[in-house]
Each structure stands twice: as C-alpha cells, then as structure tokens.
Structure 1
Amino acid sequence: MLAASAGAGLVDAIVGGGGLIIVPSLFGLFPQAVPATLLGTNKAASIWGTGWAAWQYARRVTLPSMRLLGAIAAAMLGALFGAWLATRVPASRFRGALPFVLAAVWLYTLWRKDMGRHHAPHWSPRTEALLATGMGAAIGFYDGIFGPGTGSFFVFALVRLLGWDFLHASAGAKRLNFATNVAALAWFIPSGHVAWALSLPMAVANVAGSAVGTRLALRHGAGFVRAAFLIVVGALILKTAWDAWLR
C-alpha cells in the first residue's frame, strides 16, 4: 500500500487520478471492509499529498484566487453531500460508466492538439467565476461519493471550460481537490470511516510522491502536463474498464 500511495501522489500532483491507484488497491487488499471506510481512508491519506502539491504550485503559478472562491465553496458542499450519500449508495454503480467518461475526455484532448498548451482565459471574470462554481459543485459531488479520477476531471474542466493551460489547470485542480477532500473527511471522520493506522503511513508516502510529481510539472511546464494527462487518462481507461467489466 505504501508503494501504491507514493505512486498515486506522484501521478496526482501532475494531472490527478491518484485515487484510481489507491482505491482499487484498498478494495483488493481489504475486500471485506466497509466501502465507505476504504474511501475515507483514501481521503485521509491523499489529502496530505494534495495539500503539499497545492502549496508548491501556489508558490510558482499565479491563479485568480478570488474567482476560485465560489468553486471551492461549491466543491466542498458537493463533496460533503456526496460523502454522506456514499454511506448509503454502493459506489460500484459508478464503475460501469467511468471508462466511457474517461474515454470521451481522452479522445477530445487528443483531437484538440493545441488545447491546454497556452494559457488563454476567454471569459469575463464574472462568467469565469460562475462556470468554475458549477464545475466545482458537480465534480465535488462525484469526489465525495466515489472519487477516483477527480483531479483529472478538474484539470480537463479548467482547460476546456476556462481556457487555462494544463499547468495552471493542474495548480487550480489541486486547490479544488484539497477542498473536496476536507469536506468529505468532515463526514467520514465523525462517522468513523477512517482506518488511521493505515492512512497515516500512506499519507507520508503520498507526500513523498507528490513532491516528485510537483517538481516535474513545474520544471517541464504545460506541454509535459498535457502529455502526462493523456498517458494517465489512457491508463485509467484500461484500468477502470478491467475493474468494471472483466474482473
């Protein structure tokens, strides 16, 4: 689990999607555990790597912080509601649809070869804030109820909807993903759905991986993050399709 957590931290820091490494590992090693507890344990470990990445990006990448406030608040509310629902609705219902959604994201990104290579926001500040808020609510809800791939969805939405490049989008995604993790844990922790003995060592490994991933993204820029996004999402399509239909 420590190796999986470190790998997830590295991948997540660059383009998101670390949950699709940790969550299947947890479900595979602890098949008898309550699903909500495994999801909460994942959040309690990955939030540290996400927070580290968000802080490192904030030092080097300038973002319109005020326009993201609504998105952060909406993402937290969505994640809190999703986490509550996760204790009542089996998360397996999402597994069958996830490969199709990821495939659509991958194909669109591949088709639009220049998308995300240049930072070119094209909305007014008000419109950008409203779009970001709606995006935050929708993806935040998904993160709370299921979670895997959330960071990648945030990256894609920021690039496609707001015209950001992949580096700025990855930086913004870390802030949003950190907020959704906080909100989800606000439900999982009081409900007793975190295995602390497992999540704490996983958190240390996750931060180590995140430090490496953040450094790579900042050093190599938007083109590198875009290429990594295509590779990671392509791998996630295969992994989620295997989990949903072939296993």
Structure 2
Amino acid sequence: MIDLWLYPLLTGVALIAGFIDAIAGGGGLIMMPALLVSGVPPLQALGTNKLQSMCGTFVAMRNYGAKGLIDWRANLPTALIVFAGSASGALLVQYVEARTLALVIPLLLLANAVYILVSPRMSDEDAHQRLSAAGYAPVGGAIGLYDGFFGPGTGSFFTSTLVALRGYGLTRATALCKYFNWTSNVAAVLLFALSGQVLWLLGASMAVGAMAGGWLGSHTAMRYGAKLIRPLLVTASIAMTARLLWGYFSGG
C-alpha cells in the first residue's frame, strides 16, 4: 500500500522527469529511484514507471509531430520492430537478472557522452545518412529490447544513433526518438500489465505530471534546438553513468 501523501510527491517528480525526458532522455533515472524509495517493489516500479513515461512521451511526440519533425510513415516499420524488441525485453526481465547490464551500460553511456561532445554532427543540420530507414531498423529493435529489459539511457541511444547513422539534425533526431520511445513504452506497459506489475492509480497520477513535463520539455527543445539538447544529452549521459556505477558497486 502506497501512502496517500506520496501520490502528489511522485507526480511532481514525474513532471521533472518528463521535462528532462522530452529533451534528452534519462527520466527513468529520476523516477525509478523515487518509486523504489517509496516502497514500490522493483517489477511494479518498472511497470508503473513505463506507464507514466508512455503518457509523457506521447505528449512530447505529439508536439514534435505537430511541427512536422516526425515522418510517421517512413519510420513505421522501425517503430514496429522497436515494439517487438521492447515486448521481448519486458518479458525477459521478469525471468533474468538485470544486474549484469549495470556494469556494461555505464561504459556505453560514457562513450555516448564523449561522442555527443566531440562529434560535429551534433547540430540541427541534417548530414549524409549512413543507413536507410530499413538499415536502421535492427539498431532500433536492439535499443527497444534493451529498453524493455533495463531502460536507462534509451533516449540518448536513440538520439545519438539517429544522428550518427541516419544523418538527422539533433532536434529532428530527438523528435523521432520520442516516436520510438513511445512505441517501446506501449509494448512494455502491455507486458507488465499482463503480468500484474502495474500500479494503475499511482501510474495515472504520475502520468499527469509526466504529460505536463513532456509538453513543457518538447516546446523548450523546439525553441532552443541543439544548443540546449546537446549539453543536456551530455549531462544526462554522465549522470546516468554515475548513478548506474554507484548502484552497481553499492549494491543499490
């Protein structure tokens, strides 16, 4: 049983997480510890976090799409593969120990932060694409699998690979990231719900905060573009690296 006073508190945390997530990803690294500290069991924390994240990401995705920053039809096949990957990951995490990933992922996040810092591609200018939409689909599917299974850094991985491999400018990559992220969240929520791992009332309360944060974050990102998104991506990647390493070595 979750104490009633935690509902508005966690809704406020979800607003902050949704704001950051809409710009740079990493909202789960704020939301998950808050849920666990509040006494929510780990699998229910994962499922409930996915529910509020799905709602916040939907609002951000809708705002980006309304500005013409998402090509829905061209990226639908990749979105479906992301969905399948995330569903597989959400099923797998309920039977497999995720701790082994907690040492590998910080290294990838750190490499991601370095790439964002030094790459000349990290701007709002589109560049030459190295992979077509079809060629990127397996990459998206792998990130979706990771998101359903473990999750931290998913938005950063989507955004940086869309810039590096698809040639998108940073704001367009962030927008498309939300499309894939939302698809991944829908799949994960379905799987967690089927196994009874979603606290619906708490998740709905948090979703209100996440949607407000997603609205504010997406509008802020579209207003300021790469000059805001790039430093936030680096900050989020480094913060997630530190948090995951701390959790791994402290056993938390």
Q: Which TM-score band (shorter chain)? A: over 0.9
Deviates more, 1:22-31 or 1:159-168: 22-31
TM-score, normalised to structure 2, is 0.90
Match among 90, 104, 110 for residue 97 of structure 2: 90
Match among 28, 36, 39 for residue 19 of structure 1: 28
Structure 1 distance, partners of 2:68, 2:26, is 21
Deviations 1:86-127 (A, max 9, x none): 110122232222211110101122122x22214324238xx4
Report 1:130-149 matches (<5 A). 130-149=134-153
Match among 190, 209, 221 for residue 225 of structure 2: 221
Q: 2:124–2:171: 8 Å Cα contact kept in structure 1?
A: no
Structure 1 distance, partners of 2:84, 2:125, is 29
Other structure's SS at 1:63 match: coil
Q: Quick check: 1:122 aligned with 2:128?
A: yes
Structure 1 residue 207, shift from structure 2 partner: 1.0
Structure 2 distance, partners of 1:70, 1:245, is 39
Q: 1:79–1:140: 8 Å Cα contact kept in structure 2?
A: yes
TM-score, normalised to structure 1, is 0.92
Report 1:1-247 matches (<5 A). 1-30=10-39, 33=41, 35-112=42-119, 114-123=120-129, 127-246=131-250
Structure 1 distance, partners of 2:134, 2:103, is 30
Q: 1:131–1:161: 8 Å Cα contact kept in structure 2?
A: no
> Which amino acid is 1:25 matched to?
A
Q: 1:152–1:233: 8 Å Cα contact kept in structure 2?
A: yes
Other structure's SS at 2:162 match: helix
Please list every run of 5 or more consecutive structure 1 residues that lacks an aligned counterpart in the other structure. none
Structure 1 distance, partners of 2:99, 2:202, is 23
Aligned length: 242
